[in-house]
Structure formats: structure tokens, C-alpha cells
Chain A
Amino acid sequence: MENFTPVEALIGGALIGLGALILFVFYGRIAGISGIAGSALFSRDGRSWRLAFLAGIAAGPILVAAILTDFSYGTPQLSWQVIVAGLLVGIGTGWGSGCTSGHGICGISRLSPRSVTATVLFMLSGMLVATLLH
């Protein structure tokens, strides 16, 4: 477990929870990133707050880099795998009504049986594919 970073994980996780909680307290909305992005693209209702939320998502790493001078992160090479993966993630979160944030954090917190089921399934499926391929 040489790559384990518990302190950064706990602080980062608390920030994720806090941001999601703000959306709930002020807007009464679930902070599901796939749902918000999909609706911002394909539906006119409530587009302004969704676009503002997405602008915040895009700005997060820029803020962290401004505070922590040694901050950097890796990105994937362009390959057929990332394109197939993007399609699967888009179709899967579209049909499944959510991703790691909406189901994994908000839904589990609300004790939603659909979200608990979805999270168990995408975790198991993700582990199976990653372990077989990497």
C-alpha cells in the first residue's frame, strides 16, 4: 500500500461532501455531476445554475494549483480505450441515472436503495475490468 495517501483523501473527501451539501442546502438538489452536466447540455430548464456549477468543477484544480505550488496531476494518453471508456461512462451514467457523486455520495447518504445498488454494481464492475486489464 505504498501509494496510500490517507490525509489528502480525508481532506479531499470532506471538501467533496461540503460542496455537495451546499447544493442541497441552497438549491435542494442532488449534486450528481453526470446528471447536472447531461441536463445542462440537453435541457433548457435550470441551465444557468447547472452551468455555474460546471464552471466551478472546471475551476477546482486551478484553485488548488494557485494555493499549492507543487500541485500537479496525470492525464490519460489519447487512445481507443479512453474513447470506449467515455462512451461506456456516458451511456452507463445516463441509463443508471447517476455516477460516483450522485449515487455514491448523495444517494448513499439519503439511504436510497437504488443508489446503494448502483454503487455496489459500478464498484464491482470497475474492479473486475481494472483488475483484468491493468
Chain B
Amino acid sequence: MPVIIAFIAGLLMSAGIAYSQMIDPNKVLGFLTLNANWDPSLILVMAAALVVYSSGYWLFIRQGKPVFAESFNLPGKKALDKPLLIGALLFGAGWGLAGYCPGPALAAVSSGSHGTLAFIAAMVAGWFISRKLAI
């Protein structure tokens, strides 16, 4: 599979994260913090992404298979289980604490900011823990 397409996919997503300023934790905290200066920008970022992705998704899924693979590789799990619910709540708590979710933190790696690099290192440790410690 030509990996250049995967590079372009990541590049476009990250350019969108950067251009919308969602790469800046203070911008995200402006949305998550409900006060007089509340900033609804993140809602429009998600809305635009959802319109583009969902229209393309539902048009293309009828093709039966992706361009470079034999079949679609989509999550099939349906159950609203304990790991999903507890995981989402913990993720939200971390997001609200620092204003970083995985995409913006990884996108900001070239800044060399010690805060960003420490967040990424702790996040990687968290991924490792989540794989070793099942709930």
C-alpha cells in the first residue's frame, strides 16, 4: 500500500487542526470552560469535519472495498461496555485538565515545547498501561 497517501491523510488532518487553532490548548480550553468568554469554535470544527466525512463515507461505502485494500477494516463492536464508558470519562478529564487531545499534542511535536513533549510521553505511558491493565 503506498504510504504516501497515509502521509497526506495525516498532513491534511493536522493542517486542519493547526489552521483552526485547535492545536493550541488554550483555544480548546476556551470551548471546554463554560464562562462569559465561552468560545464555540470547536463545535464548528467538528460540524465541518462531520459534514465532509459523513457525506464521503456514506457515498463511498457502497463501493464495497477501499482503493488499496481488500476490504473495509471498521470496528464491529457494539456493546457499551465498562472500558468504553470509564475510558471516555478519563480521557475527557485529561482533555479538560490540559486542553490537549492526542491529535493536537502530536501535531505540536515540532514546537519542541517541554510541556507538549511531557504530555506526549505521559500519553504514550498511558497507552502502554491501558494495554497491560485491562478493566
Interface positions of A (Cβ within 8 A of B)? 1-6, 8-31, 33-34, 37-38, 41-42, 48-64, 68, 71, 73-79, 81-97, 99-101, 103-110, 112-114, 117-119, 121-131, 133-134
Additional A-B contact list (16), CB under 8 Å, known A86-B120, A122-B92: A9-B41, A19-B15, A22-B5, A52-B7, A53-B6, A55-B7, A76-B99, A82-B116, A86-B105, A86-B118, A87-B129, A94-B129, A96-B86, A100-B102, A117-B85, A126-B95
Determine the main DSSP class of B at the interface with A.
helix
Among A9, A86, A109, the residue within 8 A (CB) of B126 is: A86
State whether A27 touches B126 (Cβ < 8 A).
Answer: no
Q: Is the CB of A33 within 8 A of B103?
A: yes
Residues of chain B touching chain A, judged by Cβ–Cβ distance below 8 Å, are 1, 3-27, 29-30, 32-35, 37-54, 56-58, 60, 65-69, 71-75, 77-80, 83-103, 105-111, 113-116, 118-131, 135
**Which residue of chain A is the closest to B14 with respect to CB atoms?**
A60
- Please tell me if the beta carbons of A92 and B93 are within 8 angstroms of each other in the complex: yes
Find out whether the CB atom of A121 lies under 8 angstroms from the CB atom of B88: yes
Which among A20, A73, A104 is the interface contact of B21 at CB below 8 angstroms? A73
CA distance A33 to B103 in the complex (A): 6
A37 & B96 in contact (Cβ 8 Å cutoff):
no
Among B6, B96, B102, B110, which residue has its beta carbon within 8 angstroms of that of A49? B6
Q: Report whether A8 and B50 are in contact in the complex, using a CB–CB cutoff of 8 Å.
A: no
| Secondary structure type dominating chain A contacts | helix
Q: Is the CB of A19 within 8 A of B88?
A: no
Considering the chains assembled together, what is the distance between the CA atoms of A115 and B99 in angstroms?
20
Chain B contacts for A108, CB-based, 8 A: 50, 54
Residue of chain B at shortest CB distance from A110: B57
Residue contact A17 to B53, C-beta cutoff 8 Å: yes
Whether the Cβ atoms of B74 and A87 lie closer than 8 Å is: no
Which of chain A's residues has its CB closest to B96's CB?
A129
> Would you call A14 and B52 a contact (CB within 8 A)?
yes
The answer to whether A133 touches B96 (Cβ under 8 A) is yes
- Complexed CA–CA distance, A51 and B78 (Å): 28
How near does chain B come to A119, taking the closest CB pair, in angstroms?
8
Task: Assess A88 versus B41: contact at CB under 8 Å? Given A14-B52, A109-B53, A122-B92.
Answer: no
A58-B14 contact given A21-B57, A87-B125, CB 8 Å threshold: yes
